Amino acid sequence: MSNSFTQITEKLDKALEHVRRDIATLRTGRATTQILDPVMVDAYGAKMKIVEVASVQVPDPTLLVVSPWDKSLLVAVERAIATADLNLNPVVNGDIIRIAIAPLTEEKRKEMVKSLAKKIEAGRVMLRTIRTDAKKDIESQEGNDGISEDDIKRDVESLEEMIQEYNTKLDEIYASKEKDLMTV
């Protein structure tokens, strides 16, 4: 069963990583390059991530600077940032784009925490789905040679402990990000 638990652990790690990437896009009032992760640019006849067509730098905590490698994409990059529903206002300055990151209002911070809670809950749903599938796999071994009811019970208990451990990790991620969001 340990091979199966290795696969379960990999799935749980992927779910946790997905949640981390998802919440990295939540603005904390400080500039980070992850803010632009959801931005897709129309370039060369395809939708591309902003990091595939430009460098993104954070010269100070309130500013992002985007430098498209192909200067002909400047307008497309600016348009993509402006229309990405991130409440950012890109300003073209020569052949770079400056994005001022305004401090968040108390109301906006609370909205972000609500959004964070939804993303964490989505992570919990992923964990529950993984647990359900794994539990079915474990219980389907009943009646197999060399597998006793005690083995199945022990494996189910081990699975529950793993899920609890990952739920605790989600709680820690939530607490850390909530603190970041609410810090002025």
Residue 116 in tokens: 């964070």
Q: What's the rounded mean pLDDT across residues 60-73?
A: 90
Nearest by Cα to 31 from 104, 91, 95: 104
pLDDT tens digits for range 8-41 = 999 999 999 999 988 877 767 677 888 888 889 9
Banded pLDDT at 78 (limits 50, 70, 90): very high
- What Cα–Cα distance (Å) separates residue 128 from each residue in 82, 107, 121, 135? 37, 32, 10, 10
Q: What are the two backbone dihedrals, phi and then psi, of residue 30, each rounded to the nearest 5 degrees?
A: -110, 145
pLDDT at 3: 61
Check whether 2 has a pLDDT greater than 60.
no
Q: Strand 46-49 relative to strand 54-60: parallel, antiparallel, unpaired?
A: unpaired
pLDDT at 15: 94
pLDDT at 33: 82
pLDDT at 37: 84
What is the set of domains in the chain, with CATH numbers?
2-24+105-182 (1.10.132.20), 33-100 (3.30.1360.40)
Nearest by Cα to 15 from 118, 115, 117, 128: 128
pLDDT at 156: 92
- What Cα–Cα distance (Å) separates residue 129 from each residue in 29, 44, 70? 34, 39, 43
pTM (global) more than 0.75? no
What value does the mean pLDDT of the chain take? Answer: 88
pLDDT tens digits for range 40-51 = 999 888 999 998
Q: What are the two backbone dihedrals, phi and then psi, of residue 97, each rounded to the nearest 5 degrees?
A: -120, 125
Q: What is the 3-state secondary structure (H, E, C) of 109-155?
A: HHHHHHHHHHHHHHHHHHHHHHHHHHHHHHHCCCCCCCCCHHHHHHH
Q: How far apart are CA 54 and CA 34, in angstroms?
A: 14
Helix-helix angle 149-182:2-24, to 10 degrees:
10
pLDDT at 161: 95
* Listed ranges 76-80, 146-150, 163-167; the one with the highest mean pLDDT: 163-167
User: Which of the pair, 1 or 146, is modelled with greater confidence?
Assistant: 146
Check whether 69 has a pLDDT greater than 80.
yes
Check whether 128 has a pLDDT greater than 90.
yes
